[in-house]
Chains A and B, each alone.
Chain A
């Protein structure tokens, strides 16, 4: 069983469309991170959400942390081909010596021109 379930697994849309991807878990987290990974590159951190219900905006990207801090969503407005990539969510069990950053399997987004 995956700690983090991301959906959809694949998403192909046309330029200009809006989309939302999800990251869900049955566990409660103190924080959650979103990354974007472009083909042939490593993941790059987009945002960290900490507070339940928190909403953060990064240009056309809107990130929301669920009230219960078990889930998160990423909404992209007017998608562009440059948004193409693998979107990963991740959580850490920070505290103590048993640190680990756990990633979901990601949503592979393709934005067609």
Chain B
């Protein structure tokens, strides 16, 4: 398997523009996670899905952030409008199970480095 695939790898945009980040999880994984990593706050969970259904979006910082998973092989994280403080590396991860056993290992994608000017 190719692992978790994210696109684009780098995105530079101007404040106020819409940004869409994409993720293809590992085939067969029922759980998909979106994380954000910054120097100040470290790696934070934004939202996660189970079988394409959003389960917990309490980590989403504001209404400007939204995430969708239209099918088992694709998810998007959208920021509209973007702001400079959204600059970070955004990771997508997937797993077979949620917690408690060898199948709960989360596999991370390479991340999207977002810069909002």
Contacts and interface: CB of A to CB of B under 8 A. Distances in A.
Interface in A32-88: 40-45, 88
Interface residues of B, number: 21
Interface of A: 40-45, 88, 92, 94-95, 97-106
23 contacts: A40-B110, A40-B111, A41-B110, A41-B111, A42-B4, A42-B91, A42-B93, A42-B111, A43-B91, A44-B108, A45-B105, A88-B43, A94-B98, A94-B99, A98-B56, A99-B55, A99-B56, A100-B45, A100-B56, A100-B59, A101-B33, A103-B43, A106-B42
Given A41-B111, A42-B111, A94 B105 contact: no
A73 B59 CA distance: 28
7 residue pairs, one from A and one from B, having the closest CB atoms: A42-B108, A94-B99, A105-B42, A103-B43, A92-B99, A42-B91, A43-B108
Interface of B: 4, 33, 42-45, 48, 55-56, 59, 91, 93, 98-100, 105-106, 108-111
Contacts of B43: 43, 88, 103, 106
Contacts of A100: 45, 56, 59
A94 B100 contact: yes
Given A42-B91, A92-B99, A94-B98, A101 B106 contact: yes
Contacts of A44: 108
A97 B106 contact: no
Contacts of A41: 108, 110-111
Contact of B98 (A40, A42, A43, A99): A99
Contact of B48 (A95, A99, A105): A99
